[in-house]
Amino acid sequence: MRKKSAPHLVLDAAEFNEEKAANTQMVEAVFKYDYVYDLPPLDLLLRAKGKGLINLVVQLERPDGLRIELVKKAIRLNSEAPIRLSLDKEAASASSNFLQTYEDPAALRSISMFTVKPVETFFARAEQGLIRNPLPLKGEYRLKLTSVAVGGGAALTDPSLTVA
């Protein structure tokens, strides 16, 4: 039987909240993704436009209730410019922590963490076998982007999530 892969999809209709005060803008964008496939996406790409000093936190809430902080970083942009975060690249540390919590230590010793695909681990059941035989965790995923932009004219706008 052929396994169904997650298709390429752009999600730009997020639950979006914005607050402004003095020279600070706070944005929270929550993207919902209904994962019903046998094979996980290859990557999750967050895109937006930004200007100024932007502090970003990206958190994934899985259907099993687990919340994983994928990325925490600061970006400085002197003028408005595109922002692009590949969670396959940016979330390697979060993936390593996730695997150390749920995978068999002997299995972890037998592989190089450089060969692990972070996004693949986040769409698998949190149980031993994550590396060799990951079972899909189907259901609604919520990816939450929180940003604080600081400085005159600093802002984050037009966030979108591409499932690739």
Q: Identify the pLDDT of residue 163.
A: 97
Q: Are 17 and 27 in contact (CB under 8 A)?
A: yes
Q: Identify the pLDDT of residue 52.
A: 96
Q: Identify the pLDDT of residue 102.
A: 94
Q: How does pLDDT run along the chain (164 residues), one tens digit per residue?
A: 788 999 899 998 889 999 999 999 999 999 999 999 999 999 999 999 999 999 999 999 999 999 999 999 999 999 999 999 999 999 999 999 999 999 999 999 988 888 899 999 999 999 999 998 999 999 999 999 999 999 999 999 999 999 99
Whole-angstrom distance, CA of residue 38 vs CA of residue 96:
22
Q: Identify the pLDDT of residue 12.
A: 87
Where along the chain do its domains lie? 9-163
Calculate the CA 90 to chain-centre distance. Answer: 8
In 10 A of CB 76, how many CB atoms? Answer: 12
